[in-house]
Amino acid sequence: MAEIFRSATPIEGFAQPEMAFQFLRALSVVFAGGGALGECLAVRGQVEDGDAGGWVKGFTAMADRLAAEAGAAMAAGHEVSARDLLLRASMYYRSAEYFEDIADENHRTLGLASAECFRSAAPLMTPYVEPVDIPFEGLTLPGYFVCPSGRPKGTLLVYGGFDSSAEELILAHGLGAVERGFSVLAFDGPGQTGLMRTHPGLTLRPDTEAVLAAVADAAVHLLGADPSRLALLGLSLGGHFALRAAVHEPRFAALILNTPILDIFSYTAAFFPPGTTDGPDFGPDEVRAMPDEALPSPLRRNLLQLFRRYCGPDGRSFKALLEALARFRLEPEDIAAVTCPALACLGAGEGAEPRRQWEAFAKASGGPVTSHVFDADWGAESHCQVGNLQRFAQVAFDWLAEVLA
């Protein structure tokens, strides 16, 4: 008797927590054209749980295949197919970039490929996505500007975390904001992945108000944004960068923090076992040789190496890294200077330290704060709601529309 199978593709994620999160992150932009479920599951079937090298190989191969097909589609005049292939390839290269050893030149190669694919797709997107070079201290910050049809309700500046890229920000958040009537300017600042690909010496800096001043100037003077209707969204560690900027930069009419991070040192230390910060110092080579039980998982080595690189020379040893991160701290009296309306977001599954800082922000802010917890009933409890970005867009951008009405 013949058999019939409805599908031969197993629906299976990863058990290793960091890899599970990054896989969810890859899936999160499928709705915006940044991936295909079947392609992601095909890669999953080739990767052993916890095997970072296998992850890099699998997502790179998928991205290479799609980028090659995009070239053929473009040559044949199939622009929609070329756009779709390029966007998916861009995000797969970004996924591969995350788990590649940051000391390997291939880390930079993958990142540049992600940006190149996205920029090739940008003029084929609807609405049109405009690559922007933002003047900043003698160089330019990479970014993208998207404007809705008709007069925009306001302009949203999107400040990502240390491992995000402006390409990912446009797909994950920008297009949802544009659909609701906002112009969007997403960018990469010092110490963020998109800029580190081309300027590895421009590491994280505490004075993010200088970065946001340049971005706000570009939005107003180069892109025609209404200076009275500027809003700021900070995601992941961008929740600290944006908050710090809002403390010193009075031009923002509204602030969205997902999540509010007052103290990056305490936030980062919570990733590691108790007592790690009080133990002996160690350098990069020792991190590679460190036994698995010394870290929450072997993949935390990658997180630690990323922080070390993005914090610059001061982050060469673990203790020096902690000293560098200690500069990224805001006191209650600083936060009291934020007087614009703010939306403070938290994933219910993020843990005790993010919740503590989320509560501290709501208590100390000098302006009205709307607090929102995303829970598992919506599948949105993860960090930055990677399990349900549509739910985040609904809550955040509807709130913004009401505030700016």
User: Of 121, 141, 176, which residue constitutes the final position of a domain?
Assistant: 121
In this structure, the answer to whether residues 137 and 253 fall within a common structural domain is yes
- Residue 6 within any structural domain of the chain: no
- Residue 5 within any structural domain of the chain: no
What pLDDT, on the 0 to 100 scale, is given for residue 2?
Answer: 63
In this structure, the answer to whether residues 141 and 216 fall within a common structural domain is yes
307-320 pLDDT tens trace: 677 777 655 677 77
Token pair, residue 44, equals: 């999953």
User: Of 71, 95, 121, which residue constitutes the final position of a domain?
Assistant: 121
What pLDDT, on the 0 to 100 scale, is given for residue 322?
Answer: 77
Which residues neighbour 170 within 8 Å (Cβ) at sequence distance 6 or greater? Answer: 118, 129, 144, 146, 184, 186
In this structure, the answer to whether residues 190 and 76 fall within a common structural domain is no
What pLDDT, on the 0 to 100 scale, is given for residue 152?
Answer: 96
In this structure, the answer to whether residues 238 and 301 fall within a common structural domain is no
Question: In the chain, what percentage of residues exceed pLDDT 90?
Answer: 77
186-241 pLDDT tens trace: 999 999 999 999 998 888 999 999 999 999 999 999 999 999 999 999 999 999 99
- Residue 307 within any structural domain of the chain: yes
- Residue 376 within any structural domain of the chain: yes
- Residue 4 within any structural domain of the chain: no
- Residue 236 a catalytic site member: yes
What pLDDT, on the 0 to 100 scale, is given for residue 404?
Answer: 96
In this structure, the answer to whether residues 24 and 99 fall within a common structural domain is yes
User: Of 75, 104, 121, which residue constitutes the final position of a domain?
Assistant: 121
In this structure, the answer to whether residues 258 and 394 fall within a common structural domain is yes
278-304 pLDDT tens trace: 777 766 566 666 665 555 555 566 666
In this structure, the answer to whether residues 135 and 214 fall within a common structural domain is yes
Q: Look at the chain and report how many structural domains it folds into.
A: 3
In this structure, the answer to whether residues 205 and 257 fall within a common structural domain is yes
- Residue 179 within any structural domain of the chain: yes
Determine how many CB atoms are found less than 10 A away from the CB of residue 348. Answer: 15
3-state helix, strand, coil in the chain (%, to 5): 50, 15, 35
Which strands make up the sheet holding 183-187, listed edge to edge?
A: 129-136, 139-146, 183-187, 155-159, 230-235, 252-258, 342-347, 369-374
Which whole number is the average pLDDT over 66-95? 98
- Residue 124, classed as helix, strand or coil, is helix
CB-CB contact of 148 with 178 (8 Å): yes
Token pair, residue 71, equals: 């070239």
Domain span at residue 44? 17-121
Token pair, residue 249, equals: 């930069």
In this structure, the answer to whether residues 155 and 294 fall within a common structural domain is no
Which residues neighbour 265 within 8 Å (Cβ) at sequence distance 6 or greater? Answer: 322, 325, 326, 328, 329
In this structure, the answer to whether residues 58 and 131 fall within a common structural domain is no
In this structure, the answer to whether residues 185 and 304 fall within a common structural domain is no
In this structure, the answer to whether residues 256 and 336 fall within a common structural domain is yes
Catalytic residue among 183, 236, 365, 382: 236
- Residue 12 within any structural domain of the chain: no
Determine how many CB atoms are found less than 10 A away from the CB of residue 274. Answer: 8
CATH of the domain at 188: 3.40.50.1820
- Residue 8 within any structural domain of the chain: no
